[in-house]
Amino acid sequence: MTHENAICTLECWAYARGYCVHFAHDGDDSVDEIAKIISINTTRSLETQLYTLLHECGHILIYGSDKVVNVKEVTDHYGEKSNIYRVFRVIEEVEAWKRGLSLADRLGIGIDKKKWNRDVARALKQYMKWCLDPNF
C-alpha cells in the first residue's frame, strides 16, 4: 500500500467515526474531539503525515474506550499547570502512538519501524519537555 492509499484508508476509517481530516500547511497535528476534526500539517513528508494521522486516530480510539486509559478521569479534574494533568497527558500520548501502530496492523498499513520510532520519539520528547517545564 502506498502512503497515499494508506492515508485514504485512514480518512475513510476516521470518516466512519464522524471525523474529518484536514490537511493544511498550517495544520497543527491534532484531533479536536468536539469539532471532530483531525488537523495534519502538510509541510512534513507524506510518510510522517501518515504516521501522525495514525497517532491522531489512536486518540480517537482512546476517546472511545475510557476503560483502558482513564486519562479524562484526571484531566477533567485538574488544571493544565498541575503535574498530574501533565503526566496523564503524556500517558495518553504514548497510548495514542501504541494504538496507532495496532490500527496500522489491523488495516494492513505497512510501517517502516525505524522511521516510525524516530517520529514517536520526536513527538513524545516535545510532550515530555512540556510536562517538565513549569513556565509552559
Tell me the C-alpha distance between 81 and 46, whole Å. Answer: 34
Q: Which stretch binds Zn ion (CB under 5 A): 34-42, 65-73, 79-87, 93-101?
A: 93-101
Tell me the C-alpha distance between 123 and 94, whole Å. Answer: 10
Rounded to the nearest whole angstrom, what is the least distance from the CB of residue 93 to Zn ion in the complex?
5
The nearer residue to Zn ion, 42 or 126, going by C-beta atoms, is 126
The nearer residue to Zn ion, 26 or 108, going by C-beta atoms, is 26
Beta carbons within 8 Å of 36's beta carbon, 6+ residues apart: 18, 19, 20
Q: Which stretch binds Zn ion (CB under 5 A): 3-11, 42-50, 68-76, 89-97?
A: 89-97
Size of the site for Zn ion (CB under 5 A): 2
Q: Please, are residues 58 and 96 in contact by the beta-carbon 8 Å criterion?
A: yes
Tell me the C-alpha distance between 47 and 104, whole Å. Answer: 13
Q: Which stretch binds Zn ion (CB under 5 A): 11-19, 42-50, 72-80, 94-102?
A: 94-102
Residues that bind Zn ion (CB under 5 A): 93, 96
